[in-house]
Homo-oligomer: A and B are copies of this chain.
Amino acid sequence: MTDWSVRNGEDVERMSDNSKISTRKKILVAAEEVFSEYGFHKSLVDAIAAKAGLGKGTIYRYFENKEVLFKSLMDENVEALVSIVQSESGKCDGAVEKLKVNIESYIKFFKQHKRLFVILLFEEEGIGCKDHNECWEKRMGHTVLLEECIKEGSELGVFKKLDSGFLSYSILGVIHYNVIKWMRSNDEYDILDELPAIYDFIFNGIKIG
């Protein structure tokens, strides 16, 4: 297997000039659209090829098979998410502020990639992943970013001293379910408007006093 599938990020820069977008990128873009709409199993390789304006065989030049394409898409999305969150939270100080920015970045990313993340997080379960834990680790790799924030805050006495694994999962749960709720509403409201409520829920809980 040649390593056509390993490319650098330059091609993103020129997306305005359609002819300059690398074939690999075209496929990933089409794959995201199709997988997002139909989920893994109902997505046809033909449909992805058609949407990418490429022949079916071309898909297979770049990705061993449908599953590898799916996982590559997921991997690269997670990587993108992580790198966005990292760079954003790097820009600010203070545990609370950092966590806020962190959450905001997550939500912005999910807002942009809409349904993809549901598939990202759950559908892969159904796809035979030889090492299930490894898979999950990759998908959930981004929780470390939350964990780091939280640890920092705990050490500074801003956050409670709770298991950071517990907290990052709990916070992620809040984030994801609010994204799901928003998705279900068909853009009736802007999920970013929910941020204050989300922060309040996470920081102070629901009880009065």
Contacts and interface: CB of A to CB of B under 8 A. Distances in A.
Interface of A: 38-42, 96, 115, 118-119, 121-123, 125-126, 128, 133, 136, 150, 153, 157-160, 162-163, 165-167, 169-178, 180-181, 184, 194, 197-198, 200-208
A162 B41 contact: no
Given A173-B173, A176-B177, A178-B169, A133 B184 contact: yes
Contacts of A203: 205-207
A160 B96 contact: no
**Secondary structure dominating the interface of A:** helix
Nearest to A156: B208
Nearest to A181: B169
A181 B207 contact: no
**Copies of this chain:** 4
B184 A170 contact: no
Nearest to A150: B206
Residue picked from A163, A166, A206, most chain B C-beta under 10 Å: A206
Given A174-B174, A204-B207, 18 more contacts: A38-B126, A41-B41, A118-B122, A122-B125, A123-B125, A150-B206, A158-B207, A160-B208, A165-B181, A166-B178, A166-B197, A166-B201, A169-B180, A169-B181, A172-B173, A172-B177, A173-B176, A203-B205
